[in-house]
Amino acid sequence: MAMAGSTKEFVLELPQGIDTARSVVLVLSDVRLPRSTAVVLRVRVAENASAEVALGSIGVMAESKDAAGTAVHAALRIDVTKTLKRWRQDHPDVSALRIRVVPYAGKEPLASLEWSAASAGLWPSG
């Protein structure tokens, strides 16, 4: 599937116990971002081209506007408990979901940001 700008997509298997968990965290692992760019990563369930459901977001600060190179984050954790449970009410028989992660600066997507994440996964607890 073609993606706009610097959007990344992942297909996530829904782990056992997700519906009864007290909390669910989406973990993006080995995230690489420019040191000079503050960014908000917004995560959405990508049902189809015209319907997306917001799951959550996380902000990552820049080291400084003049910093060179790439910052590596072993894991970024986003609490998706409430939004995922609401989505599951409308999709009880789904065993996997496709998510789209889009970097933003304020209200605008960062169309040409060079960044990466090695993987994404859902982690229920409680």
DSSP state of 116: B
Residue 31 lies in a domain: yes
Going by C-alpha positions, the residue among 78, 68, 77, 79 that lies closest to residue 33 is 68
Distance separating alpha carbons of residues 35 and 61, to the nearest angstrom: 8
β-sheet bridge partners, residue 64: none
Which pLDDT score, from 0 to 100, does residue 5 have?
58
Range of the domain at 20: 8-125
- B/e letters for 71-88, b = 16+ CB within 10 Å, e = fewer, are beeeebebebbebbeebb
CA atoms within 13 A on the CB side of 53: 15
Residue 47 lies in a domain: yes
Q: How many domains does the chain have?
A: 1
Say yes or no to pLDDT of 3 above 50.
no
Residue 2 lies in a domain: no
Which pLDDT score, from 0 to 100, does residue 88 have?
92
Residue 3 lies in a domain: no
**Per-residue pLDDT tens digits for 24-80:** 999 999 999 999 999 999 999 987 666 789 999 999 999 999 999 999 999 999 999
Token pair listed for 18: 């997700």
Distance separating alpha carbons of residues 95 and 17, to the nearest angstrom: 12
Residue 1 lies in a domain: no
Residue 17 lies in a domain: yes
**Per-residue pLDDT tens digits for 77-101:** 999 999 999 999 999 999 999 999 9
Residue 58 lies in a domain: yes
Q: Is the pTM of this model over 0.85?
A: yes
- At residue 125 the predicted structure's pLDDT band, cuts being 50, 70 and 90, is very high
Residue 97 lies in a domain: yes
Q: For residue 68, what is the domain's CATH number?
A: 2.60.310.10
* Contact between residue 22 and residue 61 where contact means Cβ atoms under 8 Å apart: no
